[in-house]
Amino acid sequence: MSRFTPDAAAALEGPDWLRTNRTAAAERFAAASLPTEAEEIWRYSRVSEIDLDAYVPASRGTTVTGNGNGDGAPGMASVPAGLAGVLALSGSRSGLLVLHNGRVVHRELDPALEARGVVLADAVDLPDGERVLTAATGRTDIDAFTELNAAFLRGAAVLRVPPGVEVTEPVLILHWFDGEGPDDAAPDGTGIAAFPRTILSVGEDAQVTVVEHQASADVLALVDPVVQIDVADAARLRYLNVQDLGPRVSQVGYQASRVGRDASLYSSVVALGGAYARVRTDSRLEGKGGSAELNALYFTDRDRMHDFRTLQDHVAPSTSSDLLFKGAVQDRGRSVYSGMIRVRPEARGTNAFQTNRNLVLSEGAGAESVPNLEILTDDVRCSHASAVGPVDEEQLYYLESRGVPPVAAERLIVLGFLGEVLDRLPSPALVASLRAAIARRLASRDDTPAAAGNTQAGSGQ
């Protein structure tokens, strides 16, 4: 890990306060141990396969295009060509922030929103950037990888919506990773490590929809993202994260959110890419009457692995959370879901639900599902359920008996199964393209359907 030292962190460009913070985080990282599958929170993962010596940290140094402050026509010259399709499919927007290998290269924001105090920028360009980073929701010392993010981040995508402001069109935050930035020359056989940070702050009684999209070329890379979300009292945030990374990219991500009194968070994840892609999601309901709806859709094929860990942390009374994660695995793909509903002693009147369901489409594929409850008070309604199994034979027979070919019948069933989550996504403009991408993956299958006898299912309440 000689490339991820305090000296390497201190050598990165940036304001003095950021370089100081980086060095401190790098020293904490150097003193920490990398996680292993022996730890319960990393059980079933493939974290031991991540060799940090195979990567070099991407460095900073590029020119930002676009208006940024609403004072000029946006320029698109620095937007990576690989994001053109996403932009074309995303529909109308209120703002756009583009990051290349973890650094902001383009920004634009509706001037009317800028005039009302909405901020969409890189943290290093803000007068209060240090305060924004240090005050952001969620700990950044969760594990060695969150410390590594703090040690080598080159800024942060920041969206701040003032109290009472309603942003009607989505804000897009797009990431592209390719190891080809102006300062990202890596030794032969070495990949790029990128450390994006996103900070979303929605003020009291404000409302916004955010679509964050991660994509890459077919390169060797490690992406270590952190997303920090703060939803103030009576605020509403609809957030979608689409992960469509290349087949040689590993991801170890962390998302933390805080939900205030009578506030609502609607958070969705769509995971389609990566070699090993992990996301830990911690949602903390701190205000009475706050609610969080957490959804995820994942499709795992080839030798990919998608790994999800969630915490629905109920701190205040009369809060609610509803989690629905659904996925399909084929070829030699694997998925892992492990979730915890925690109801603290002061959180009476909690309603919390957790559901994870998986379809296994090939003999070589597999899925693990481990829901958990920790209830420390009474007067609550909580349940969890999980299921792992193949496509229902009766559904297949029904379609085949009406003339639908077996392969097409299975494809219809899988798309219908995942459609429950697709229909909930806060970006209807992207739903059709995501559905088409899943259909293409189904068509490329290199194995036969899993036998009905492999069904494993369980539920708890």
Return d(Cα 90, Cα 28) in angstroms, integer: 40
In whole angstroms, what is the distance from residue 308 CA to residue 337 CA? 5
With b meaning 16 or more CB within 10 Å and e meaning fewer, what string describes 184-199? bebeeeebbbbbbbbb
CA distance 339 to 294: 11
- Residue 281 CA to residue 339 CA, distance in Å, equals 9
pLDDT at 61: 42
Task: Please check whether residue 153 is in contact with residue 227, taking contact to mean a CB–CB distance below 8 angstroms.
Answer: no
**Alpha helices per DSSP H over 277-427:** 393-400, 406-422
What is the average per-residue pLDDT within 327-347? 97
With a pLDDT cut of 90, the percent of the chain lying above it is 81
- 95-100 and 103-109 as β-strands: parallel, antiparallel, unpaired? antiparallel
Q: What is the CA radius of gyration of the chain?
A: 22
Supply the pLDDT for residue 301: 95
DSSP states of 359-399: EE-STT-EEEEEEEEEE-SSS-EEEEEEEEE---HHHHHHH
| Mean pLDDT, rounded, for 87-106 | 93
Instruction: Report the range out of 77-86, 196-205, 448-457 with the highest average pLDDT.
Output: 196-205
Kindly report which listed range (66-75, 155-164, 173-182) carries the lowest average pLDDT score.
66-75
Contact 396, 416 (CB under 8 A): no
Indicate whether 15 pLDDT > 70: yes
d(CA 22, CA 152): 6
- H-helix or E-strand containing 443? helix 428-443
What average pLDDT does the chain have?
90
Residues pairing with 240 in the sheet: 211, 268
Looking at the predicted structure, is the pLDDT value of residue 179 above 80?
A: no
Residue-level pLDDT at 454:
36
- What does DSSP assign to residue 163? T
Q: Is the pLDDT of residue 455 over 50?
A: no
Q: What is the structure's pLDDT at 161?
A: 98
| Residue 460 confidence (pLDDT) | 35
pLDDT in tens, 122-160: 999 999 999 999 888 877 778 999 999 999 999 899 999
Residue range 281-293: mean pLDDT, rounded: 98
* Residue 222: its H or E element: strand 221-223
Residue 457 phi/psi, 5° resolution?
A: -145, 150
Asked if 109 contacts 120 with a C-beta cutoff of 8 angstroms, the reply is yes
CB 339 within 8 A of CB 323: yes
Give this prediction's pTM: 0.92
Reply yes or no on whether the pLDDT at 1 is more than 60.
Answer: no
Give alpha helix (H) positions in 43-90.
84-89
Report whether pLDDT(353) > 70: yes
User: According to the model, what pLDDT value does residue 65 have?
Assistant: 59
The whole-number pLDDT of residue 135 equals 87
Rounded to the nearest 5 degrees, what angle is found at the Cα of 125, between the Cα atoms of 124 and 126? 95
